[in-house]
């Protein structure tokens, strides 16, 4: 039995609540198996390797070595690390996250895994550059832009960012921003029309789902709903440009 397999068996026998927050463990399964993860930074499913299997599967299917991925709403970095591993040294990942506590955890995970192909942008992606209010939640994955939010954060728009900072154009956009999905797309229309990235989109609620669908259709994207929101109101949409 390998040392990794032996460690995995020992770890899964421990009650999860008994593992101290801040402990660094290897991800036990899935495409991030072996990556280093800080316990307590996200749900236990992250280091167990069971976190959001549907999103994980689609990102793995749509990204290739050498590609560029934008992780919009990177949270603490699970999908950032996944994209980093897939695209390899010849590719690049740009991770966008506005919430300071999440950014600290994101940077720690990038450093622990020596993910040198990752660039972190400490800002919320929206339809314009500037400042906005952000409301944290009890679950660090659930905070989002909101009028009257407790924090002020920087916002960026993808088209302006691409034009002014010279970032590489994305092959894939993963968007999970707790209600600001349409604003992300509106601020990146030129990017969608010129780069034709595939999109893995979490739409929170029927209204946002409809808004995003209308906007994507207007720029020539075909959409597939792979999770319909019937259970919790959250839709997972895979969108591809007909021009790609």
37, 24 Cβ separation under 8 angstroms: yes
Q: Is the pLDDT of residue 5 over 80?
A: no
Strand bridging mode 221-228 / 198-204: unpaired
How confident is the model over 42-86, as pLDDT tens digits?
Answer: 999 999 999 999 999 999 999 999 999 999 999 999 999 999 999
Residues facing residue 118 across a β-bridge: 93
Q: What average pLDDT score do residues 141-164 get?
A: 91
Helix, strand, or coil (residue 151): strand
CA dist 177 to 41, 67, 102, 232, Å? 18, 22, 13, 16
Q: Would you state the pLDDT for residue 1?
A: 47
C-alpha 179/C-alpha 183 separation (Å) is 9
Q: To 5 degrees, how large is the angle CA 128–CA 202–CA 210?
A: 75
Asked if the model's pLDDT at residue 9 lies above 80, the reply is no
Higher pLDDT, 12 or 222: 222
Superfamily of domain 52-241: Vaccinia Virus protein VP39 (3.40.50.150)
Provide the residue ranges of all domains of the chain, joining segments of one domain with +: 1-51, 52-241
Task: Quote the percentage of the chain above a pLDDT of 90.
Answer: 81
Residue 16 DSSP one-character state: G
Contact 149, 178 (CB under 8 A): no
**Ranges of H-type helices in the chain:** 3-12, 44-48, 53-62, 78-87, 100-112, 158-165, 181-186, 189-195, 206-218
Q: Quote the distance between the C-alpha of residue 14 and its chain's center.
A: 29
Spatial separation of the C-alpha atoms in residues 204 and 172, rounded to whole Å: 20
What pLDDT, on the 0 to 100 scale, is given for residue 4? Answer: 55
Q: What is the pLDDT of residues 16-39, one digit of tens each?
A: 778 899 999 999 999 999 999 999
Query: Measured between alpha carbons, how far is 95 from 103 in angstroms, rounded to an integer?
Result: 10
HSE, CB side, 13 Å, CA atoms: give it for residue 134. 28
More confident residue, 10 or 133: 133
Q: 48-58 burial string, b = 16+ CB within 10 Å, else e? A: bbebbeebbeb
């Amino acid at each position: 039995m390998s040392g990794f397999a032996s460690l995995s068996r020992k770890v899964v026998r421990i009650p999860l609540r008994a593992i101290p927050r801040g402990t660094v463990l290897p991800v036990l399964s899935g495409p991030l198996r072996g990556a280093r993860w800080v316990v307590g930074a996200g749900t236990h499913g992250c280091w167990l390797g069971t976190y959001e299997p549907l999103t994980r599967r689609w990102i793995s299917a749509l990204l290739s070595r050498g590609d560029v991925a934008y992780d919009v709403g990177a949270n603490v970095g699970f999908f950032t690390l996944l994209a980093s591993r897939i695209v390899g040294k010849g590719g690049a990942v740009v991770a966008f996250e506005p919430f300071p506590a999440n950014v600290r955890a994101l940077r720690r995970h990038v450093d622990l895994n020596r993910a040198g192909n990752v660039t972190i942008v400490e800002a919320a992606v929206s339809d314009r550059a500037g400042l906005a209010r952000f409301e944290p939640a009890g679950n660090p994955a659930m905070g989002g832009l909101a009028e009257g939010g407790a924090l002020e954060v920087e916002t960026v728009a993808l088209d302006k960012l691409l034009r002014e900072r010279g970032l590489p154009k994305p092959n894939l956009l993963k968007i999970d921003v707790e209600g600001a999905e349409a604003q992300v797309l509106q601020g990146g229309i030129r990017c969608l029309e010129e780069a034709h990235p595939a999109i893995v989109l979490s739409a929170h609620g029927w209204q946002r789902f409809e808004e995003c669908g209308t906007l994507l259709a207007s720029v020539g994207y075909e959409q597939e709903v792979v999770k319909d929101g019937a259970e919790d109101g959250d839709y997972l949409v895979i969108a591809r440009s007909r021009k790609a």
